[in-house]
Structure 1
Amino acid sequence: MHKVFEIAMGAYLQLLAGVSWLSHWLQPNAGDSYATAALVVSALLIGICCAIWAVVLRLRFHAYREAMKSALAKAQGDIRFREAMISACPEAIAVLGSDMHAPLSYRGGAGLLQACLDGPDAPLLAARLETLLAHGAAFSAVVRTAAFPQVSVRGCAVGSRAAVFFRIDKDASSADADYTALLDALPVPVWIRNRHLVLTWANRAFLAATGQATLRDAQLCDAKLDKSERDLMRVASEGGDVDAVRRFAVVDGERRVFSLNMKKLPDRSVGAFATDLTDLAKAEARAQLNTESHTAILNTLETAVAIFGADQRLIQCNSAYVRMWHLPQDWLATRPTLNDILDRLREMRRVPEQRNFTAWKQEHLAQFEHAGQHVTETWHLPNGISVDVRSVPYLAGGAVYLFRDISEKLAQEESYQLLKRSQRAVLDTVETATAMFGPDGRLRIHNEAFAALWRLEDSELAGEPHLTKVADLCSSRTGRDGIWSMIAAGISAPDPERYNAWGDLVRADGKSLNLSLSRLPDGATMVSFGDVTDLSRFSVAISETPVLPPVQLNEPVISAA
């Protein structure tokens, strides 16, 4: 302010001096005092205004100069800060712009940019840079150069220009070498094609499978495992899924089966590997042959067989199963569940009548939840057929059902039981103790006299007990002797009648028995015991009575006229 005051006072003094000179010059012609005064005042006012305007201009200029100095200092500070940040940044930087003849470079960014554009991933990087310059779209990518296997590139818009940052992964070379060595050691063919489907890398297994010595040879002849490989690669490069596609290839003169898997990589190339499934295909063929053989064997059985998996779906059934249940083969080929089959059989009235069919069905379905459960039951169907049902666990999970029509068997058993009851009724009328043993040594039938002779209960002789059990029961009642050993030998002998020559036998309790063995046409042995105890005692008594002399009668014998 003091300086401004000095400037204003100086301008004012100069103005007064000018006015004084002007008045002095006008004095000789001062005829008109009013005109002179007006001129002086006007000059004075003009001078004051000019002085004020000069002061204002000087002040404005001084303020503008101070502001420019402050902005320059701030800009220089920002520049120094940015230069420090760029120097501290480990990444190389290249700045591009449409108005620039050459990119700005920091830490060798321009050279690294050119190396990346000369590398195998140049098309990818060029497309990303073009999009960045045209639309300002930021990007990040990993590219390869001749000197570095992995360079991370990051681009972003800075005003009207583009900044590209480069970071060299120094550990990538060793890591890639390890990965390459690992992939090269795999016995599985692995290879990579770029986005133009040109072979860029392959391991030794791929070279061996395609008959090539080096990667260069494989690239020159465009080696491939199968003719359709390029088509599959194209599908994968477009984002499609190529998983476990089976193809055939001739390797070392042998036709082999490969499972091809292909995946699109981040750099738009396609990686692929092939798994040799030749042994698996042969095993599947053998399994299919075994399945067909098993099916043929099952179809020869009269027993209906149905195999259900762990999901309760029908896996396989034989022709007897179809005939027994009259189910359409086309429907069975759809692999229905056991639940569906039981519902359909109920509609056909080919399952037992149940008060609560749902609960009965759930009991059968519950066996799939308990591994190792065996089920044996008999179904009496509304049409009069009886079916023996057995289920056993399936080794692969699930259950195997066996169905057998036992209607005829039950009828035969009923006839047999009726015949046994008839024979028992006939034998009960015979006083001789009689028992019939089958070829297997089991007691088939006996009469009441046999049970009474050996002091046995009917409950003990029920269920066709074996000869040894009957012998033990008899010995526990009457004492041990050799009678039942002789009977056992006679039943096992081809000619049991010769044991009849033993005559009367004395039991351990003193009872005399007459044993008779005879072979029946069906191979059974009829054993008869005659109680001759009284006869033996009478014979003994007769033999011990003394012989009396004959008595002569004096009286004449009067015969009847």
Structure 2
Amino acid sequence: MDASWMLALAIVTTSIGTALIALLLIGLGLGRFAVRPRAAAVQPALEETVFLFDDQDLVDATTPARMLLDAVPMGGSDWARLCAFAAPRFAGFAEAMATLADRGRLELASAPGMAQGAPLRLIAEDAGGLARITLHDPSAEGQGVLVDALSYRALEEEVDLLRAVADRSPVLSWRENAQGEVIWANRAYILRSNALDNPDEVLSWPLPRLFDLGAPLPSAAPRRLRITAADDRALWFDCHAYPLEDGAICFALPADATVRAERALRDFVQTLTKTFADLPIGLAIFDRQRQLQLFNPALIDLTQLGAEFLSGRPTLYAFLDRLREARMMPEPKDYRSWRLQMTELEQASAAGFHSETWSLPSGQTYRVTGRPHPDGAVAFLFEDISSEISLTRRFRAAAELSHEVFDSLDEAVAVFQPSGELLMSNTAFTRLWQFDPAETLGCVTLTDTIRVWQSFSLPNPIWTALQGYASRMGDRRPLSAGIALRDGRQLSCRFLPLTGGGLMASFHILPTAIGPSDAPLLLTEAL
């Protein structure tokens, strides 16, 4: 029993001793497999952006410096691209670099608001006749930010695409600061401003301001401006300006074609206006909304509507209402029927050619013509035909009187046209020959009439001579003869040539009737 206790006590004592020795070794740092604290991650140092120039020729540059030059596509040389980046950000950059050889070293800070974060710093040093230019971005120093390679590549591709779009866009694009200075422009703007006529020319900053948008900057509404080209040609642009916090982004779209089209349209309208001003016919053109767009002075005189009313561009129905009030259109039986009639007039004029004759209460007569125009417009022509109607009425009255006198003659008369067609005949002619040309369908010729005359008369050489006489060309002498009818009556006939080639035939019944066997055959031609 004593021996067992002694053995257990020895084992426990040995274990405790071993543990204490191990703890002591760990505390003294002598353990072979002691755990050491993890060292802090070392941030990779960013490479500086440094340029080395011999005058305006790039001698050497760090990788970030070359990437910066590649990101600035404007300029025909490396120095021009550096100026395009530095001049807008560092005030007086070009002037300060011109004094570097005398000063030996200079330091510039970017203007507030030109860069996010802390202002950029530019240090230029004269290194044995070479210009060593260093750019510092305090906000990026000491931040070894690791970016996912695929994300960074996607961002670079998107930036390259946007840069290419802006640089190759034919639209003039530029950015102005709050003072109205151009601090960025795309290639189209620079080429238009003739800043790159010489590819090696250094850009002067700020860039030329081609368009004076005014101060303060206008809204995004387009504004048409003109600039003068090198050959004194006027170039027109529609300019848009979108305000930003520290300026504006502006665009200029070529508007030469639009200006030419507007000028041609204006000249065309002026030509039409001058032409319409001399027309005695009143003209009124209504657009597709039926508002008056164009009228001439004759419309004022014919309708007795004031120029002030017509210049107010009334609607078609307001125009017709005013005509009705001025009693310059036929008086309708009631207003409802009149409105329906005007609606039909407007619809008929819009569908095609439509014409109406208005007999006014004043005794005047107007011809109103409606014609459709492109794009749903409609034009109305107002023509005073009172004199024409009066002349027609007088002519008709004279013609009726002449025909009445013609019918009252006892002598049978017929008139033929140069073509041989019967033009007119009187009542005595119809009664004598029992032949009414008005009841005959179609035209009646001289040959047809000769057949009728032969059928009612005894044989006579006059009819054969008359057929040859009618077809004879040139001057013709009057022809006269005596003929006998089958009923015993004797006629004296004359055939007289008329001016223009016509022919008049007249027949007179002799007072003494003779028998058919005793009828004389007389044929004479007047000398």
Given candidates 224, 232, 256, the residue that maps to 2:209 is: 224
Question: 2-side partners of 1:339 and 1:350: how far apart?
Answer: 14
2:312 counterpart of 1:334: yes
- Could you tell which deviates more after superposition, 348-357 or 258-267? 258-267
Residues 222-261 of structure 1 aligned to structure 2 (within 5 Å):
222-226=207-211, 228-229=212-213, 231=215, 234-236=216-218, 240-243=219-222, 245-261=223-239
Deviation at 1:433, TM superposition (A): 3.6
Deviation at 1:375, TM superposition (A): 1.4
Given candidates 369, 375, 379, the residue that maps to 1:400 is: 379
Question: 2-side partners of 1:482 and 1:172: how far apart?
Answer: 112
Match of 2:354 in 1: 375
Match of 1:188 in 2: 171
Match of 1:423 in 2: 402
CA deviation vs aligned residue, 1:513-548 (integer Å, no higher than 9, x gap): 94623536xx7956234388999996875579xxxx
Question: 2-side partners of 1:187 and 1:393: how far apart?
Answer: 41
Secondary structure, in 3 states, of the residue corresponding to 2:237? strand
Question: 1-side partners of 2:159 and 2:422: how far apart?
Answer: 86
Check conservation: 2:415, 2:502, Cα contact below 8 A: yes
Secondary structure, in 3 states, of the residue corresponding to 1:254? coil
Deviation at 1:259, TM superposition (A): 3.2
Match of 2:443 in 1: 469
Match of 1:455 in 2: 435
Unaligned runs of 5+ in 1: 1-116, 128-145, 148-166, 462-467, 545-561
Question: 1-side partners of 2:207 and 2:301: how far apart?
Answer: 59
Match of 2:154 in 1: 171
CA deviation vs aligned residue, 1:341-385 (integer Å, no higher than 9, x gap): 111121111111102334434543456557442211111111111
Q: How many residues align?
A: 369
Residue 366 to residue 124, structure 1, CA distance change in 2 (3 Å): farther
Match of 2:295 in 1: 317
Residue 517 to residue 263, structure 1, CA distance change in 2 (3 Å): same
Residues 121-520 of structure 1 aligned to structure 2 (within 5 Å):
170-194=153-177, 197-213=180-196, 220-226=205-211, 228-229=212-213, 231=215, 234-236=216-218, 240-243=219-222, 245-264=223-242, 270-365=248-343, 371-435=350-414, 446-451=425-430, 453=433, 455-456=435-436, 458=438, 469-471=443-445, 498=476, 500-501=478-479, 514=493, 516-519=495-498
Q: TM-score, normalised by structure 2?
A: 0.56
Question: 1-side partners of 2:269 and 2:469: how far apart?
Answer: 53
Residue 400 to residue 261, structure 1, CA distance change in 2 (3 Å): same
CA deviation vs aligned residue, 1:450-509 (integer Å, no higher than 9, x gap): 455483354669xxxxxx83439957995999999989878xx885xx163486899xxx
Question: 2-side partners of 1:320 and 1:457: how far apart?
Answer: 47
Question: 2-side partners of 1:373 and 1:386: how far apart?
Answer: 23
Deviation at 1:175, TM superposition (A): 3.2
Question: 1-side partners of 2:398 and 2:430: how far apart?
Answer: 20
Residues 81-96 of structure 1 aligned to structure 2 (within 5 Å):
none
Over the matched positions of the two proteins, sequence identity in percent amounts to 21
Deviation at 1:334, TM superposition (A): 1.7
Check conservation: 1:306, 1:402, Cα contact below 8 A: yes
Query: Which residue identity is paired with 1:337?
Result: T
Query: Which residue identity is paired with 2:274?
Result: A
2:505 counterpart of 1:528: yes
Secondary structure, in 3 states, of the residue corresponding to 2:383? strand
Query: Which residue identity is paired with 1:394?
Result: H
Secondary structure, in 3 states, of the residue corresponding to 1:174? helix
Query: Which residue identity is paired with 2:213?
Result: E
Check conservation: 1:353, 1:382, Cα contact below 8 A: yes
Question: 1-side partners of 2:515 and 2:270: how far apart?
Answer: 79
Question: 1-side partners of 2:307 and 2:170: how far apart?
Answer: 46
Secondary structure, in 3 states, of the residue corresponding to 1:336? coil
Deviation at 1:430, TM superposition (A): 1.9
Query: Which residue identity is paired with 2:334?
Result: N
Query: Which residue identity is paired with 1:469?
Result: C
Deviation at 1:396, TM superposition (A): 4.9
Query: Which residue identity is paired with 2:381?
Result: L
Question: 2-side partners of 1:288 and 1:294: how far apart?
Answer: 10
- Could you tell which deviates more after superposition, 203-212 or 256-265? 256-265
Residue 427 to residue 267, structure 1, CA distance change in 2 (3 Å): same
Residue 460 to residue 397, structure 1, CA distance change in 2 (3 Å): farther
Query: Which residue identity is paired with 1:174?
Result: E
Secondary structure, in 3 states, of the residue corresponding to 1:384? coil
Question: 1-side partners of 2:269 and 2:226: how far apart?
Answer: 24
Residue 446 to residue 323, structure 1, CA distance change in 2 (3 Å): farther
CA deviation vs aligned residue, 1:87-139 (integer Å, no higher than 9, x gap): xxxxxxxxxxxxxxxxxxxxxxxxxxxxxx99999668559xxxxxxxxxxxx
Match of 2:43 in 1: none
Question: 1-side partners of 2:307 and 2:411: how far apart?
Answer: 62
Secondary structure, in 3 states, of the residue corresponding to 2:251? strand
Structure showing greater Rg: 1
Specify which structure has the higher proportion of helix.
Answer: 1
Question: 1-side partners of 2:155 and 2:224: how far apart?
Answer: 35
Check conservation: 1:305, 1:318, Cα contact below 8 A: yes
Check conservation: 1:201, 1:215, Cα contact below 8 A: no
- Could you tell which deviates more after superposition, 319-328 or 203-212? 203-212
Residue 277 to residue 430, structure 1, CA distance change in 2 (3 Å): same
Deviation at 1:420, TM superposition (A): 1.7
Question: 2-side partners of 1:392 and 1:440: how far apart?
Answer: 39
Match of 2:25 in 1: none
Residue 527 to residue 476, structure 1, CA distance change in 2 (3 Å): closer
Query: Which residue identity is paired with 2:270?
Result: E
Question: 1-side partners of 2:492 and 2:482: how far apart?
Answer: 6
Question: 2-side partners of 1:443 and 1:411: how far apart?
Answer: 29
CA deviation vs aligned residue, 1:278-320 (integer Å, no higher than 9, x gap): 3432333333223222222222222222222222122222222
Question: 2-side partners of 1:406 and 1:289: how far apart?
Answer: 32
Q: Which has the higher contact order (CA 8 A, sep 6+)?
A: 2
